[in-house]
Amino acid sequence: MNSLDDFVTLIRDDLGLDVDMTDVDRPLDQVAGWDSLHLIALLTRLEHSTGHSLSLPAALEASSLRGLYDVAVTG
């Protein structure tokens, strides 16, 4: 994952959510189909693909997909 676009593609392909770049700044509760299970699945996939642990507290504080992307790139 090298960019925000790659992150959106990962969410679409691996989690099966119909998201695009227009969704990255929406509050998570306004992203169609998003729920807490998607968060756990995404964090697991990101940890696997990046090779480093992600902060669950930081992920829980993220309010958008962009916020989750920031958690992923900062570790």
Mean predicted confidence (pLDDT) in 22-46: 96
Please state the pTM of the whole predicted model.
Answer: 0.93
- Position with higher pLDDT, 50 vs 10: 10
What percentage of the chain has pLDDT greater than the value 70? 99
**What is the DSSP annotation of the chain?**
--SHHHHHHHHHHHH-----GGGTTSBGGGSTT--HHHHHHHHHHHHHHHSS---HHHHHH--BHHHHHHHHHH-
Q: How many domains does the chain have?
A: 1
Give yes or no for residue 75 having a pLDDT over 80.
no
Give yes or no for residue 50 having a pLDDT over 90.
no
Tell me which residue range forms the domain holding 36.
Answer: 4-74
CATH of residue 14's domain is: 1.10.1200.10
